[in-house]
Amino acid sequence: MQPLRNLTIKKFHEGLLKKEFSALETTQGFFEYINKKNPEIDAYLSLAEESAVREAEMTDIAIAKGEEIGELAGVPLAIKDNILIKGLPATAASKILENYIAAYDAFVIKKLKKEHAVFLGKTNMDEFAMGSSTENSAFKKTKNPHDVTRVPGGSSGGSAAAVAAHMAIASLGSDTFGSIREPASFCGVVGLKPTYGAVSRAGVIAMASSLDQIGPITKTVEDAAILFRTIAGQDPLDETSTIPPTGPYGKELTEPTIQKIRELTIGLPEEYFVSGTSKEVTDAITKTIEKIKSLGLKFKRISLPHTKYAIPCYYLSMPAEVSSNLARFDGVRYSRNKNLVEKGQTLSELYFKQRGHGFGPETKRRSILGAFVLSSGYYDAYYEKAQKVRTLIKNDFDDAFMDVDVILTPVAPTTAFKIGEKIDDPLAMYLSDVFTGPVNLAGLPAISIPVNQVPGLPIGFQLIGKKWHEEDILGIGQFYEKLENNG
């Protein structure tokens, strides 16, 4: 059997069909490794060994019977802990949901179960997906597998660390302002944020409903395409989801496909190549551009002038949605702490005590800010104005895509920073998402792909596509991977 670190979705599927190993022995191998490695990395919050072993055995039985299996059958996956799997914990890394067990499956989990994927467990995250470092978890701090003194990024830090540390073949995360792409960049893996509406949010614990999107974190762009093909689709339980008008995603790199990729023009926005980005990131992105040029693709300078307003726009829009979405977590429903219930308490006193105990500092900060910007007398001055700026940011992308097909940028201005370095400075933490956030505000697809840079900490570059044009960024990404693997 191949070492776990060598397994991708494609290699695992091929190995199963050739009977080089079984799904069961691979799954058991992952749990054995997780038990050794997770205490160091803290990527997982909970494991699902019993159900995972049972599903792996079913895959092996299907193969023994000569039945046809899909690409994801038996594949060991890690799932972010804000995505519901029936019968498993779903804490969103918050004390207020510490004892909650999901009563149903999220849409994406239903689709993966149909393919007989194996769920190893639930991964750590920033509480309710609020953060860029996974330091805001109520339970533990996940470490970067490349340097355990550094953060893995956030909020999907556990999902990215699990894949980077070879504790899962692939994983699912959620991306509201960069929460898949930033940890993918920091951990040296691939992270895809699909077009808003391409993947249903049903069964995902909401943070900011107009921005949240589920996507894959994988070892290769090819694997990201495989996972995305499976989880994408319309869902009657999510009215924002739709049938993507383009596809298929992640075509094989045949000569006609490569020729089509070479016809694409890539834009370089001047606002993303500015002071404030570290020299190592700038140098890595410059080398990546030169490599992609060698593949025959054309580049063009463009401008996205309202980029500088993305962070203030987000930090007025998002808290308003947070305040509304988190109102349901009152400590009475879902996973109440009975120890905080006292005789003679009024309902108001009960709410204050339960929520005060259950929510962490960042969750409280955003909820309070959201209630403020939605309050009488301030709605027009803040929230409504932020929505107008959001439209201007979207219009910038629309204008740019009149001249180019794809946009290339850094993912983050720096490599992974030290644990504790920014946790007490919220603004410095928020600036980590300066390059990823505008994509969510515009509802576009984007992917983080590792720059092949050794030695040193991982660095990712970002490809942004037109709405519903995941195939463009996945195609260029696979073409780039082919160059790296052959070179």
Helix (H) or strand (E) holding 111: helix 107-114
> Average pLDDT, whole number, for the chain?
93
Note the pLDDT of residue 464: 98
Which residues are part of the catalytic machinery?
80, 155, 179
Residue with structure tokens 């070179």?
487
pLDDT in tens, 188-221: 999 999 999 999 999 999 999 999 999 999 999 9
- Looking at the fold, whether 425 and 353 belong to one and the same domain comes out as no
Q: Is residue 298 part of a domain?
A: no
pLDDT band at 253 (very low <50, low <70, confident <90, very high): confident
Question: How many residues comprise the chain?
Answer: 487
The encoded tokens of residue 397 equal 């992308």
- Looking at the fold, whether 42 and 114 belong to one and the same domain comes out as yes
- Looking at the fold, whether 378 and 417 belong to one and the same domain comes out as no
- The answer to whether 42 touches 122, Cβ cutoff 8 Å, is no
Note the pLDDT of residue 251: 65
In single-letter form, the type of residue at position 298 comes to K
- Locate all alpha helices (DSSP H) within 234-346, ordered by sequence: 255-262, 279-294, 310-325
Separation CA 449–CA 382 (nearest Å): 35
Q: Is residue 270 part of a domain?
A: no
Separation CA 406–CA 302 (nearest Å): 11
Taking alpha carbons only, the member of 251, 58, 226, 180 closest to residue 448 is 180
pLDDT band at 236 (very low <50, low <70, confident <90, very high): very high
Helix (H) or strand (E) holding 485: helix 470-486
- Looking at the fold, whether 23 and 163 belong to one and the same domain comes out as yes
pLDDT in tens, 50-91: 999 999 999 999 999 999 999 999 999 999 999 999 999 999
Separation CA 342–CA 196 (nearest Å): 44
Separation CA 88–CA 25 (nearest Å): 23
Q: Is residue 285 part of a domain?
A: no
- Looking at the fold, whether 161 and 68 belong to one and the same domain comes out as yes
- Looking at the fold, whether 223 and 84 belong to one and the same domain comes out as yes
* Strands lying side by side in the sheet with 298-302: 44-47, 118-123, 76-80, 170-175, 213-218, 190-193, 446-450, 460-465, 406-410, 265-269, 298-302
For residue 380, the enclosing domain spans: 309-386
- Looking at the fold, whether 338 and 438 belong to one and the same domain comes out as no
Taking alpha carbons only, the member of 483, 480, 470, 481 closest to residue 198 is 470
In single-letter form, the type of residue at position 251 comes to K
DSSP string, 429-460: HHGGGTTTHHHHHHT--EEEEE----SSS--E
Q: Is residue 399 part of a domain?
A: no
Separation CA 52–CA 405 (nearest Å): 41
**Across-strand partners of 147?**
144
Last residue of a domain, one of 386, 420, 436: 386
Arithmetic mean of pLDDT, 89-118: 96
Q: Is residue 281 part of a domain?
A: no
- Looking at the fold, whether 155 and 37 belong to one and the same domain comes out as yes
* Range ranked top by mean pLDDT from 54-58, 242-246, 367-371: 54-58
Q: Is residue 53 part of a domain?
A: yes
- Looking at the fold, whether 347 and 444 belong to one and the same domain comes out as no
Q: Is residue 287 part of a domain?
A: no
- Looking at the fold, whether 359 and 418 belong to one and the same domain comes out as no
- The answer to whether 109 touches 214, Cβ cutoff 8 Å, is no
Note the pLDDT of residue 456: 85
DSSP string, 194-236: PPTTSS--TTB--S-TTT-EEEEEESSHHHHHHHHHHH-S-BT
- Looking at the fold, whether 366 and 416 belong to one and the same domain comes out as no
Q: Mark 312-324 as b/e (b = at least 16 C-beta within 10 Å).
A: ebbbbbbbbbbbb
Indicate the angle between helix axes 221-231 and 9-17, nearest 10 degrees.
80
Q: What's the structural domain count of the chain? A: 2
Q: Is residue 127 part of a domain?
A: yes
* Residue 114: CATH number of its domain: 3.90.1300.10
- Looking at the fold, whether 372 and 425 belong to one and the same domain comes out as no
